[in-house]
Structure 1
Amino acid sequence: MATVEGSSLRRASVEAIVERILEHNRREGKDPNNVRHRVRGAEHVLRYLSTHDGACWQERWDSSPLAMATLNRCPQLIVPGCSTPLRARLTRGVSVLLSLDVVRPGLHFVTGTRACELWKQLPLWRQDADAGLLQTRRQGTLQSRQHACALLGRVMLLTGKTIAQVSSEDLLHYRALTRDVAPAYGIEQLWNALAALPTSPVTGTFRASQRPGQRSIEELVDLYPVRNRRVRKLFIVYFTRRAPDLDYSSLRTLVFTLVSWFWCAVEEVEPGIDTLALAPATVEAWVQKATFRTLPGGERVERRNLPHGYMTVRSFYQDLQRWAHEEPERWAVWACRSPITDQHLAGYRKWRRRLTSEMHQRTRHRAPVVTRLADAAESFAAEASALLEAAAAADSGAEFVHDGAHFRRVGAGKAGQRIRVLQLDAPTAQVRDLTTEEEDAFWAFCLIETLRHTGARIEEVLELTQMDLTPYERDGQTVVLLHINPSKTDQERIVVVPPELAAVFAQMTTRVRHAAGGTGQALPLVTAYDYGEARELAALPMLFQRTAGRGVMGVTRPMNSKYVRQVITATCDRARITGPDGQVLRFTPHDFRRSFATDALASGLPPHIIAKLMGHESLLTTQQYMAIFPEDVIRAHRSFVAKRRSLPERREEYRSTTEAEWKEFEEHFGKRQIAIGNCLRAYRSSCSHEYACEQCKLARPDEAARPRLQRVLTGLAEQLTEARSHEWAGEVERLLYIQAAVHDKLAELDRARRRNQSVTLPMPSVRT
Structure 2
Amino acid sequence: MRASDRPGAIQGTAGPRTPEELIDRYGLVCRPIRDVLVDYLRERQPSLDYSSMEGLACALGARFWKDLEIHHPGIDSLRLPDEVAAAWKQRLRTKQKTITAKTGEKVTVDVPRLNYRECLIPIRAFYLDLAQWAVDDPGRWAQWAVPCPIKEEEANRRKLQRHRKSRMDARTRERLPVLPTLVRTVNEHRKATEMLLQAARHTQPGEPFTAAGQTLIRSVTGHKAIRGKVWAEDPVTGKRRDLELEEDHAFWAWAIVEVLRATGIRVEELLELSHHSFVQYRLPTTDEMVPLLQIVPSKTDEERLLLVSPELADVLSAVIHRVRDHTGKIPLIASYDWQECVWLPPSPLLFQRRFGAERRRISPDVVRDILAAALVRTRLTDPSTDEPLRFTPHDFRRLFITDAIMSGLPPHIAQVIAGHRDINITMGYKAVYPDEAIQSHLAFLARRRAMRPTEEYRVPTDAEWQEFLGHFERRKVSTGICGRAVGTPCVHEHSCLRCSMHWPEPGQRQRIVEIRDNLIARIAEAEHEGWLGEVAGLRISLAGANDKLAQIDRRSDNDSVNLGVPNTQRPKTSQTHHNP
TM-score w.r.t. length of structure 1: 0.52
The match for 1:397 is 206
Whole-Å separation in 2 of the counterparts to 1:281 and 1:568: 45
CA drift of 1:341 comes to: 2.6
TM-score w.r.t. length of structure 2: 0.69
Contact 2:7 2:360 (8 Å CA) reproduced? no
- Are 2:37 and 1:249 equivalent residues in the alignment? no
CA drift of 1:478 comes to: 4.2
SS of the residue aligned with 2:246?
helix
Cα 1:376–1:293 change in 2 (3 A) is: closer
The match for 2:408 is 604
2:310 to 493, 499, 511: 499
The match for 1:220 is 22
The match for 1:318 is 128
The match for 1:689 is none
> Any idea what the Cα deviations from partners look like across 1:323-368, whole Å, max 9, x if unmatched?
222323322221111111356447x433322222111100011123
The match for 1:523 is 330
Whole-Å separation in 2 of the counterparts to 1:445 and 1:503: 12
Contact 1:388 1:438 (8 Å CA) reproduced? yes
Cα 1:635–1:429 change in 2 (3 A) is: closer
CA drift of 1:628 comes to: 1.7
The match for 1:353 is 162
The match for 1:309 is 119
Contact 2:78 2:146 (8 Å CA) reproduced? yes
Alignment of 1:364-403 (within 5 A): 364-403=173-212
The match for 1:234 is 36
SS of the residue aligned with 2:344?
strand
Alignment of 1:405-420 (within 5 A): 405-412=214-221, 416-420=227-231
SS of the residue aligned with 1:540?
coil
Contact 1:452 1:593 (8 Å CA) reproduced? yes
The match for 2:323 is 512
Alignment of 1:71-150 (within 5 A): none
Contact 1:265 1:290 (8 Å CA) reproduced? no
Cα 1:616–1:343 change in 2 (3 A) is: closer
> Any idea what the Cα deviations from partners look like across 1:375-427, whole Å, max 9, x if unmatched?
22111111110111111111000112224432111033889331111122x3x
RMSD: 2.6
CA drift of 1:579 comes to: 5.4
The match for 1:567 is 370
Whole-Å separation in 2 of the counterparts to 1:579 and 1:232: 44
Alignment of 1:259-338 (within 5 A): 259-295=61-97, 297-338=107-148
Contact 2:173 2:433 (8 Å CA) reproduced? no
2:399 to 562, 570, 595: 595
The match for 2:271 is 462
> Any idea what the Cα deviations from partners look like across 1:156-181, whole Å, max 9, x if unmatched?
xxxxxxxxxxxxxxxxxxxxxxxxxx
- Are 2:12 and 1:205 equivalent residues in the alignment? no
Give the gaps of 5 or more residues in structure 1. Answer: 1-194, 196-200, 637-768
SS of the residue aligned with 1:527?
coil
Identical pairs, percent: 38
The match for 2:557 is none
> Any idea what the Cα deviations from partners look like across 1:227-254, whole Å, max 9, x if unmatched?
2222112111111111122111111111
Whole-Å separation in 2 of the counterparts to 1:351 and 1:376: 36
Whole-Å separation in 2 of the counterparts to 1:627 and 1:431: 44
Whole-Å separation in 2 of the counterparts to 1:413 and 1:480: 48
SS of the residue aligned with 2:336?
strand
Q: Which structure has the greater CA radius of gyration? A: 2
Whole-Å separation in 2 of the counterparts to 1:634 and 1:537: 50
1:422 to 207, 230, 233: 233
CA drift of 1:612 comes to: 1.1
2:426 to 622, 638, 641: 622
Cα 1:372–1:413 change in 2 (3 A) is: farther
SS of the residue aligned with 1:368?
coil
The residue type paired with residue 310 of structure 1 is: L
The match for 2:339 is 532
> Any idea what the Cα deviations from partners look like across 1:49-69, whole Å, max 9, x if unmatched?
xxxxxxxxxxxxxxxxxxxxx
SS of the residue aligned with 1:452?
helix
Whole-Å separation in 2 of the counterparts to 1:295 and 1:374: 31
Whole-Å separation in 2 of the counterparts to 1:477 and 1:257: 53
Cα 1:394–1:627 change in 2 (3 A) is: closer
Contact 2:169 2:430 (8 Å CA) reproduced? no
Contact 2:23 2:57 (8 Å CA) reproduced? yes
Contact 2:3 2:9 (8 Å CA) reproduced? no
Q: Which has the higher helix share?
A: 1
CA drift of 1:204 comes to: 4.0
The match for 1:545 is 352
CA drift of 1:309 comes to: 1.3
Cα 1:446–1:403 change in 2 (3 A) is: closer
Whole-Å separation in 1 of the counterparts to 2:439 and 2:129: 39
The residue type paired with residue 341 of structure 1 is: K
SS of the residue aligned with 2:178?
helix
Give the gaps of 5 or more residues in structure 2. Answer: 99-106, 441-580
- Are 2:243 and 1:434 equivalent residues in the alignment? yes
SS of the residue aligned with 1:357?
helix
Whole-Å separation in 2 of the counterparts to 1:247 and 1:634: 45
The residue type paired with residue 350 of structure 2 is: L
CA drift of 1:495 comes to: 0.2
The residue type paired with residue 328 of structure 1 is: P
> Any idea what the Cα deviations from partners look like across 1:572-617, whole Å, max 9, x if unmatched?
1112234556654321111111011011111111111111111112
Contact 1:381 1:442 (8 Å CA) reproduced? yes
